[in-house]
Copies of this chain bind each other. A is one copy, B any other.
Amino acid sequence: MAALKNAEALIPRFKFEKLLNQDQAGRRIVLQGTIDSEPALLLAERAAFDSDESRLSTLSNSLSHIQNLGDNDIYRWYMAHSGVGEGQPADLKINLIYPCTEQHLKKYRAQAVRHVTETPHVYRDHVRPYMKTKRDQGRLNWVFNILDGRTEQEDVLFRSPHSTTTEDERYLLLPDLNWDRKTLGGLHLLALVERRDIWSLRDLKKKHVAWLKRIVADIASTVSRLYSIDADMLKCYVHYQPTYYHFHIHIVHVSLEAGATQAVGKALSLDNIISQLATMAGDQEAGMDNVDLSFTLGEASELWTDVFLPLKEKRLQ
Protein backbone atom coordinates (compact mmCIF):
# COMPACT_ATOMS: atom_id res chain seq x y z
CA MET A 1 0.00 0.00 0.00
CA ALA A 2 2.87 2.32 0.87
CA ALA A 3 4.44 1.50 -2.49
CA LEU A 4 1.23 2.33 -4.34
CA LYS A 5 0.93 5.63 -2.52
CA ASN A 6 4.50 6.38 -3.49
CA ALA A 7 3.78 5.57 -7.11
CA GLU A 8 0.93 8.08 -7.14
CA ALA A 9 3.04 10.73 -5.47
CA LEU A 10 5.66 10.49 -8.23
CA ILE A 11 3.48 12.02 -10.95
CA PRO A 12 3.11 15.56 -9.55
CA ARG A 13 6.87 15.62 -8.93
CA PHE A 14 7.59 15.13 -12.64
CA LYS A 15 9.49 18.15 -14.01
CA PHE A 16 8.83 18.66 -17.73
CA GLU A 17 11.83 19.19 -20.02
CA LYS A 18 10.73 18.47 -23.59
CA LEU A 19 8.13 16.87 -25.79
CA LEU A 20 9.88 13.74 -27.04
CA ASN A 21 7.16 12.39 -29.33
CA GLN A 22 3.54 12.65 -30.32
CA ASP A 23 1.69 9.82 -32.02
CA GLN A 24 -1.64 8.01 -32.37
CA ALA A 25 -2.97 11.08 -34.16
CA GLY A 26 -1.70 13.30 -31.37
CA ARG A 27 -3.58 11.34 -28.73
CA ARG A 28 -0.40 10.05 -27.12
CA ILE A 29 2.43 12.29 -25.96
CA VAL A 30 5.78 11.29 -24.57
CA LEU A 31 7.33 13.80 -22.20
CA GLN A 32 10.97 13.77 -21.18
CA GLY A 33 11.74 15.19 -17.74
CA THR A 34 13.11 14.49 -14.31
CA ILE A 35 11.95 13.47 -10.87
CA ASP A 36 14.35 14.52 -8.10
CA SER A 37 16.96 15.29 -10.80
CA GLU A 38 16.82 11.76 -12.19
CA PRO A 39 15.68 11.19 -15.80
CA ALA A 40 12.07 10.14 -16.29
CA LEU A 41 9.62 9.56 -19.13
CA LEU A 42 5.93 10.31 -18.79
CA LEU A 43 3.62 8.87 -21.44
CA ALA A 44 0.10 10.27 -21.45
CA GLU A 45 -2.53 8.70 -23.65
CA ARG A 46 -6.24 9.45 -24.08
CA ALA A 47 -8.26 6.62 -22.57
CA ALA A 48 -11.07 4.66 -24.20
CA PHE A 49 -14.59 5.88 -23.51
CA ASP A 50 -16.54 4.16 -20.79
CA SER A 51 -19.13 2.19 -22.77
CA ASP A 52 -21.49 1.78 -19.82
CA GLU A 53 -25.05 2.56 -21.01
CA SER A 54 -25.79 4.92 -18.16
CA ARG A 55 -22.63 6.91 -18.96
CA LEU A 56 -23.45 7.08 -22.65
CA SER A 57 -27.00 8.19 -22.01
CA THR A 58 -25.79 11.22 -20.07
CA LEU A 59 -22.75 12.00 -22.23
CA SER A 60 -24.34 14.76 -24.28
CA ASN A 61 -25.51 16.49 -21.11
CA SER A 62 -22.20 16.17 -19.33
CA LEU A 63 -20.29 18.09 -21.99
CA SER A 64 -19.28 21.65 -21.29
CA HIS A 65 -17.83 24.56 -23.26
CA ILE A 66 -19.27 23.22 -26.52
CA GLN A 67 -17.81 25.22 -29.39
CA ASN A 68 -19.26 24.83 -32.86
CA LEU A 69 -16.48 24.89 -35.47
CA GLY A 70 -18.59 24.68 -38.59
CA ASP A 71 -21.51 23.08 -40.29
CA ASN A 72 -22.55 21.96 -43.73
CA ASP A 73 -26.13 20.92 -44.33
CA ILE A 74 -26.86 18.12 -41.84
CA TYR A 75 -23.20 17.85 -40.70
CA ARG A 76 -21.88 19.86 -37.73
CA TRP A 77 -18.57 19.62 -35.88
CA TYR A 78 -17.47 20.86 -32.48
CA MET A 79 -14.82 20.86 -29.79
CA ALA A 80 -15.98 20.24 -26.21
CA HIS A 81 -14.92 19.33 -22.69
CA SER A 82 -15.81 15.99 -21.17
CA GLY A 83 -16.17 17.52 -17.70
CA VAL A 84 -16.11 20.94 -16.14
CA GLY A 85 -12.81 21.64 -17.85
CA GLU A 86 -12.28 25.09 -16.33
CA GLY A 87 -9.17 26.58 -17.95
CA GLN A 88 -8.32 23.33 -19.77
CA PRO A 89 -8.05 22.89 -23.54
CA ALA A 90 -10.94 20.94 -25.11
CA ASP A 91 -10.41 17.18 -24.92
CA LEU A 92 -13.19 16.00 -27.23
CA LYS A 93 -14.07 16.32 -30.89
CA ILE A 94 -17.77 15.93 -31.58
CA ASN A 95 -19.54 15.39 -34.89
CA LEU A 96 -23.30 15.58 -35.16
CA ILE A 97 -25.30 14.31 -38.12
CA TYR A 98 -28.90 15.50 -37.84
CA PRO A 99 -31.27 14.49 -39.23
CA CYS A 100 -29.48 11.33 -40.31
CA THR A 101 -30.66 8.62 -42.71
CA GLU A 102 -30.51 4.82 -42.79
CA GLN A 103 -27.42 5.19 -45.03
CA HIS A 104 -25.60 7.03 -42.26
CA LEU A 105 -26.49 4.33 -39.76
CA LYS A 106 -25.25 1.66 -42.15
CA LYS A 107 -21.99 3.51 -42.70
CA TYR A 108 -21.22 3.99 -39.01
CA ARG A 109 -22.60 0.74 -37.58
CA ALA A 110 -19.96 -1.76 -36.46
CA GLN A 111 -19.56 -4.20 -39.32
CA ALA A 112 -18.21 -7.72 -39.10
CA VAL A 113 -15.31 -8.38 -41.46
CA ARG A 114 -14.42 -11.59 -43.30
CA HIS A 115 -11.13 -12.79 -44.69
CA VAL A 116 -11.51 -14.30 -48.16
CA THR A 117 -9.29 -15.80 -50.82
CA GLU A 118 -10.04 -14.83 -54.40
CA THR A 119 -8.69 -17.56 -56.68
CA PRO A 120 -8.06 -16.89 -60.40
CA HIS A 121 -11.27 -18.84 -61.06
CA VAL A 122 -13.39 -16.74 -58.67
CA TYR A 123 -11.85 -13.59 -60.11
CA ARG A 124 -12.61 -14.55 -63.70
CA ASP A 125 -16.13 -15.92 -63.18
CA HIS A 126 -17.47 -13.60 -60.48
CA VAL A 127 -15.36 -10.62 -59.53
CA ARG A 128 -14.36 -9.43 -63.00
CA PRO A 129 -18.04 -9.40 -64.15
CA TYR A 130 -18.90 -7.49 -60.93
CA MET A 131 -16.18 -4.93 -61.74
CA LYS A 132 -17.60 -4.54 -65.25
CA THR A 133 -21.08 -3.86 -63.86
CA LYS A 134 -19.68 -1.14 -61.62
CA ARG A 135 -17.81 0.44 -64.54
CA ASP A 136 -20.90 0.25 -66.75
CA GLN A 137 -22.96 2.01 -64.09
CA GLY A 138 -20.91 5.13 -64.74
CA ARG A 139 -19.13 4.96 -61.39
CA LEU A 140 -15.92 6.08 -63.09
CA ASN A 141 -17.28 9.22 -64.69
CA TRP A 142 -15.63 11.38 -62.04
CA VAL A 143 -12.25 9.78 -62.86
CA PHE A 144 -12.69 10.24 -66.61
CA ASN A 145 -13.78 13.85 -66.05
CA ILE A 146 -10.51 14.54 -64.27
CA LEU A 147 -8.41 12.64 -66.83
CA ASP A 148 -10.11 14.53 -69.68
CA GLY A 149 -9.62 17.88 -67.98
CA ARG A 150 -13.30 18.62 -67.48
CA THR A 151 -13.40 18.87 -63.67
CA GLU A 152 -11.18 19.33 -60.62
CA GLN A 153 -8.30 20.65 -62.71
CA GLU A 154 -7.40 23.02 -59.87
CA ASP A 155 -6.64 19.92 -57.76
CA VAL A 156 -4.28 18.32 -60.26
CA LEU A 157 -0.79 18.63 -58.76
CA PHE A 158 1.05 17.13 -61.70
CA ARG A 159 0.27 15.70 -65.11
CA SER A 160 2.77 13.81 -67.29
CA PRO A 161 3.76 16.18 -70.10
CA HIS A 162 1.92 14.99 -73.20
CA SER A 163 4.76 16.23 -75.41
CA THR A 164 7.33 13.85 -73.94
CA THR A 165 5.28 10.99 -72.45
CA THR A 166 3.70 8.29 -74.56
CA GLU A 167 -0.02 7.79 -74.12
CA ASP A 168 0.31 4.52 -72.21
CA GLU A 169 2.71 5.96 -69.65
CA ARG A 170 0.86 9.07 -68.53
CA TYR A 171 -0.53 9.68 -65.08
CA LEU A 172 -1.66 12.58 -62.95
CA LEU A 173 -1.33 13.32 -59.26
CA LEU A 174 -4.14 14.46 -56.95
CA PRO A 175 -4.23 14.98 -53.20
CA ASP A 176 -6.10 12.25 -51.33
CA LEU A 177 -9.26 13.53 -49.67
CA ASN A 178 -7.87 12.66 -46.24
CA TRP A 179 -4.78 14.85 -46.60
CA ASP A 180 -4.97 18.39 -45.24
CA ARG A 181 -2.69 19.45 -48.14
CA LYS A 182 -0.10 21.02 -45.88
CA THR A 183 1.21 18.67 -43.15
CA LEU A 184 4.19 17.03 -44.85
CA GLY A 185 4.30 14.09 -42.45
CA GLY A 186 0.73 13.25 -43.43
CA LEU A 187 1.26 13.56 -47.18
CA HIS A 188 -1.14 11.35 -49.09
CA LEU A 189 -1.48 11.59 -52.87
CA LEU A 190 -3.14 9.52 -55.55
CA ALA A 191 -1.65 8.76 -58.95
CA LEU A 192 -4.31 8.03 -61.58
CA VAL A 193 -2.97 6.42 -64.75
CA GLU A 194 -4.45 7.89 -67.93
CA ARG A 195 -4.82 4.55 -69.74
CA ARG A 196 -8.18 2.96 -69.13
CA ASP A 197 -7.46 -0.72 -69.77
CA ILE A 198 -6.12 -1.46 -66.30
CA TRP A 199 -9.02 -1.81 -63.91
CA SER A 200 -7.08 -3.02 -60.89
CA LEU A 201 -3.83 -4.78 -60.01
CA ARG A 202 -5.43 -7.96 -61.46
CA ASP A 203 -4.71 -6.54 -64.94
CA LEU A 204 -0.98 -6.10 -64.32
CA LYS A 205 1.19 -8.47 -66.34
CA LYS A 206 4.86 -9.30 -66.77
CA LYS A 207 4.92 -7.06 -69.84
CA HIS A 208 4.07 -4.08 -67.61
CA VAL A 209 7.09 -4.44 -65.32
CA ALA A 210 9.29 -1.91 -67.13
CA TRP A 211 6.42 0.60 -67.34
CA LEU A 212 5.58 0.16 -63.64
CA LYS A 213 9.22 0.66 -62.66
CA ARG A 214 9.34 3.88 -64.71
CA ILE A 215 6.10 5.17 -63.21
CA VAL A 216 7.26 4.43 -59.64
CA ALA A 217 10.57 6.21 -60.29
CA ASP A 218 8.78 9.14 -61.93
CA ILE A 219 6.31 9.48 -59.07
CA ALA A 220 9.14 9.39 -56.53
CA SER A 221 11.15 12.10 -58.27
CA THR A 222 8.09 14.25 -59.01
CA VAL A 223 6.68 14.14 -55.50
CA SER A 224 10.06 14.68 -53.86
CA ARG A 225 10.58 17.71 -56.12
CA LEU A 226 7.08 19.13 -55.52
CA TYR A 227 7.35 18.84 -51.75
CA SER A 228 11.13 18.96 -51.19
CA ILE A 229 11.33 15.63 -49.42
CA ASP A 230 13.67 12.71 -49.93
CA ALA A 231 12.31 10.06 -52.29
CA ASP A 232 13.02 7.36 -49.69
CA MET A 233 10.52 8.99 -47.34
CA LEU A 234 7.67 7.95 -49.63
CA LYS A 235 5.98 4.63 -50.10
CA CYS A 236 3.53 3.49 -52.75
CA TYR A 237 0.73 0.98 -52.31
CA VAL A 238 -2.44 -0.14 -54.04
CA HIS A 239 -5.67 -1.46 -52.65
CA TYR A 240 -7.28 -4.77 -53.42
CA GLN A 241 -10.18 -4.61 -53.53
CA PRO A 242 -9.99 -0.95 -54.52
CA THR A 243 -12.91 1.45 -54.02
CA TYR A 244 -13.17 2.10 -57.77
CA TYR A 245 -11.99 0.10 -60.74
CA HIS A 246 -9.49 2.35 -62.47
CA PHE A 247 -5.86 1.61 -61.60
CA HIS A 248 -4.54 4.14 -59.10
CA ILE A 249 -1.62 4.27 -56.72
CA HIS A 250 -1.52 5.66 -53.18
CA ILE A 251 1.62 7.63 -52.32
CA VAL A 252 2.13 8.41 -48.64
CA HIS A 253 4.82 9.84 -46.41
CA VAL A 254 6.45 6.97 -44.48
CA SER A 255 5.62 8.69 -41.21
CA LEU A 256 1.89 8.89 -41.95
CA GLU A 257 0.13 7.08 -39.13
CA ALA A 258 -0.74 3.66 -40.55
CA GLY A 259 -4.36 2.66 -40.20
CA ALA A 260 -6.82 0.27 -41.80
CA THR A 261 -6.17 1.74 -45.24
CA GLN A 262 -2.55 0.52 -45.17
CA ALA A 263 -3.24 -2.84 -43.55
CA VAL A 264 -2.56 -6.40 -44.65
CA GLY A 265 -5.79 -7.63 -46.21
CA LYS A 266 -6.45 -4.25 -47.80
CA ALA A 267 -3.19 -2.82 -49.17
CA LEU A 268 -0.25 -4.28 -51.11
CA SER A 269 3.13 -2.65 -51.65
CA LEU A 270 3.46 -1.62 -55.29
CA ASP A 271 7.19 -2.40 -55.25
CA ASN A 272 6.47 -5.92 -54.08
CA ILE A 273 3.84 -6.45 -56.79
CA ILE A 274 6.38 -5.39 -59.41
CA SER A 275 8.92 -7.76 -57.96
CA GLN A 276 6.31 -10.55 -57.88
CA LEU A 277 5.55 -9.97 -61.57
CA ALA A 278 9.24 -9.89 -62.46
CA THR A 279 9.88 -13.30 -60.92
CA MET A 280 6.62 -14.92 -62.06
CA ALA A 281 6.63 -18.03 -64.26
CA GLY A 282 5.25 -17.72 -67.79
CA ASP A 283 5.49 -15.42 -70.78
CA GLN A 284 4.88 -11.67 -70.96
CA GLU A 285 1.11 -12.19 -70.76
CA ALA A 286 1.35 -13.95 -67.38
CA GLY A 287 0.09 -11.68 -64.64
CA MET A 288 -1.74 -11.02 -61.43
CA ASP A 289 -4.93 -12.57 -62.78
CA ASN A 290 -3.23 -15.96 -62.23
CA VAL A 291 -2.60 -15.69 -58.48
CA ASP A 292 -4.68 -16.23 -55.36
CA LEU A 293 -5.28 -12.95 -53.56
CA SER A 294 -6.48 -12.83 -49.95
CA PHE A 295 -8.17 -9.79 -48.46
CA THR A 296 -10.79 -8.66 -45.97
CA LEU A 297 -14.37 -7.68 -46.83
CA GLY A 298 -17.08 -6.08 -44.71
CA GLU A 299 -20.20 -8.22 -44.42
CA ALA A 300 -22.27 -5.32 -45.73
CA SER A 301 -20.23 -5.10 -48.97
CA GLU A 302 -21.80 -6.34 -52.20
CA LEU A 303 -18.81 -8.54 -52.90
CA TRP A 304 -19.48 -10.39 -49.65
CA THR A 305 -23.27 -10.66 -49.99
CA ASP A 306 -23.30 -11.37 -53.75
CA VAL A 307 -20.10 -13.37 -54.31
CA PHE A 308 -18.10 -14.65 -51.35
CA LEU A 309 -20.96 -15.57 -49.00
CA PRO A 310 -22.82 -17.55 -51.74
CA LEU A 311 -19.49 -19.24 -52.59
CA LYS A 312 -18.94 -20.16 -48.94
CA GLU A 313 -22.46 -21.55 -48.69
CA LYS A 314 -22.04 -23.40 -52.00
CA ARG A 315 -24.97 -21.51 -53.53
CA LEU A 316 -22.45 -20.37 -56.16
CA GLN A 317 -19.36 -22.01 -57.51
- A residues sitting closer than 8 Å to B (CB atoms) are 3-4, 7-8, 10-14, 16, 19-33, 35, 38-51, 53, 55-63, 66-68, 71, 76, 78-86, 88-101, 104-105, 108-110, 112-117, 230, 232-235, 237, 254-255, 257-260, 262-269, 271-272, 274-276, 278-282, 286, 290-294, 296, 312
Contacts and interface: CB of A to CB of B under 8 A. Distances in A.
A293 B268 CA distance: 12
A55 B78 CA distance: 21
| Main secondary structure on A side of the interface with B | mixed
A280 to B, nearest CB: 5
A25 B48 contact: yes
28 contacts: A7-B78, A8-B66, A11-B78, A11-B96, A13-B60, A14-B60, A27-B47, A27-B49, A32-B105, A39-B99, A40-B100, A41-B108, A42-B59, A44-B94, A45-B93, A45-B95, A46-B49, A47-B91, A50-B89, A82-B88, A113-B254, A115-B233, A254-B265, A257-B260, A258-B260, A272-B292, A275-B291, A275-B293
Given A113-B255, A275-B291, 6 more contacts: A22-B51, A44-B59, A115-B232, A254-B296, A262-B263, A264-B267
A92 B45 CA distance: 6
B237 A264 contact: yes
Contacts of A11: 60, 63, 66, 78, 80, 94, 96
A97 B60 CA distance: 36
A228 B105 CA distance: 29
Contact of A258 (B116, B259, B291, B293): B259
A67 to B, nearest CB: 7
B276 A294 contact: no
A209 to B, nearest CB: 11
B95 A43 contact: yes
A13 B310 CA distance: 44
A88 B33 CA distance: 29
A58 to B, nearest CB: 8
B258 A271 contact: no
A276 to B, nearest CB: 5
A275 B273 CA distance: 12
A48 B26 contact: yes
A85 to B, nearest CB: 5
Contacts of A263: 258, 262-264, 267
Contact of A280 (B41, B264, B280, B292): B280
